[in-house]
Amino acid sequence: MTPRTLRGRLTLWYGGLLASVLVLFGVGFYAALARNLYRGVDQKLLALAEVVAESSVRNFLRPGYTNFSRLLEEFFGVPAAGQFIQVLDPSGKVGARSENLLLRNLPVSRETLHRALHGEMVYETVPDPGAPLRVLTYPVVVRGRVRNVVQVATSLEAVMTTLREVLLALGVGIPVSLFLVLWGGWMVAARALRPLEGLIAAVREVDADQLGARVLEAEGTEEVRELARSINGLLRRLGDAFRRVREFTADASHELRTPLTVLRGEAEVALRHPRSPEEYQRVLASGLEEIHRMGRIVEDLLLLAKGDLGEAPVERVPVALDEVLEDLAGRAAALAEAKGLAFHWAGGPPVWVEADPLRLRQLLWNLLDNAIKYTPEGGQIFLSHARSGPGWVRIAVKDTGIGIPPEHQEKIFERFYRVDKHRSRAQGGSGLGLAICRWIAKVHGGRIEVRSRPGRGSTFLVHLPEAKGNDEGWEARRLES
């Protein structure tokens, strides 16, 4: 069963990895030790067999000769125990043997004797009552013929004892080491995760009314401090989001309450005394105007809400931007003239963008409408467009109106934000127009910015990506349409 805590999982993973390493190390060490021990035994047997074979060649050995003690002592330097020697003739008959083989012979199979008679050395491990014997059957070759066969053997008791002791040490040492390391890992994980527990406790205390609280960033490792900084950043963004939601809710309520208050007040006044048809008509016209205003606010709110969720339908088709601007310039010029403003539109190069025609017109008309609203009589409005770089188009709406203070320029694209709320409401604005403009520009892969100086006017710049293709192809499409 997998532990549910990070501390338990870290300890389990570390313990599992360490156990695998220790087991692999133990198996490898045991196998290497056994191989080296057996190799050492085989090398000693081979050296002893060569000494015995040399003595046999010099006729040092006579049939029935059994005094190998001096030979073994000369070879090993000390009296050797557990060493066995016997010499066979080609028929397999024992010709000489060591004293410890007077009552028995070293086993030799027909296959082993056959291989030895063909000049091959044969190593075997044979069972013995005390401990297994390691036997080397060694051919003595004289003038190309196998004269005798020497068998030397030694007990593997020392090797087996060593291997058992090593196996016991590994069997005890590995679990003990694993337990100690797991215990240490558990403690280290607890110490390393202690700052996380503090973060968890601090975050649990945060609610919607305490989003200004912050967790400590000076405790723990760099990773924990980075997590604390990320949590504080998240809390900061959540606080800003909650603040905007509260402001948005308050502003939306106020914007909808104002026309409702006007409607109720005019209706109550109209019902206090009998009125003429003209007076009733005036009240109804005023009420209808307020209803239209509420309708525009609700539609704008719905559009922005769908835009936030990515559900607002946005069509992307090639649009001749210069034609759209030409059409909007004609409408704006009429409104500007009625207000006593000079409108300037000098045209521009044919430019195509991939956009939603309806949303593009909404974006540009909001900017033109604002420019006309906030420019006093005698002022000027300028509309232009041009390529601002490879693949980009810039649209500029400039006015000589009241301007925007620097501290408000980054906030005017927020919902319901107004520099002067009284003037905007009097002129019929809902405070959502520039927020919609920013959303439309963003959803088309562009951006919108403002440059303004109080009393000197404002310039709104819209940057949109140009439609991919060549001008000749777009012009042909324009002619077809």
Contacts of 285 (CB under 8 A, 6+ apart): none
Q: Model pTM greater than 0.75?
A: no
Query: For position 424, what pLDDT does the model report?
Result: 47
Residue matched to tokens 């339908």: 313
Task: List 464's β-bridge partners, or say none.
Answer: 393
Reading the chain (481 residues) residue by residue, the pLDDT tens digits are: 566 676 677 777 878 888 888 889 999 999 999 999 999 999 999 988 888 887 765 544 444 444 555 555 555 444 445 688 888 888 888 877 777 777 778 888 889 888 989 889 999 998 888 789 999 999 988 888 888 889 899 988 889 999 999 999 988 988 888 888 888 777 777 776 677 766 766 677 666 666 666 666 656 666 667 777 777 777 777 777 777 677 667 666 766 676 777 777 777 777 777 777 877 787 778 777 777 777 776 777 677 677 766 767 788 899 999 999 999 999 999 999 999 999 999 888 899 999 989 889 989 999 999 999 889 999 999 999 998 888 899 999 999 988 888 888 888 888 777 776 555 444 545 677 888 899 899 989 999 999 998 888 999 999 999 987 645 444 555 455 4
**Structural domains of the chain, ranges and CATH numbers in brackets:** 6-162 (3.30.450.20), 222-309 (1.10.287.130), 317-480 (3.30.565.10)
The 10 Å Cβ neighbour count of residue 30 is 14
pLDDT at residue number 70:
58
Confidence at residue 459, expressed as pLDDT on a 0 to 100 scale: 94
Cα distance between residue 309 and residue 193, in whole Å:
38
Determine the pLDDT at residue 43: 92
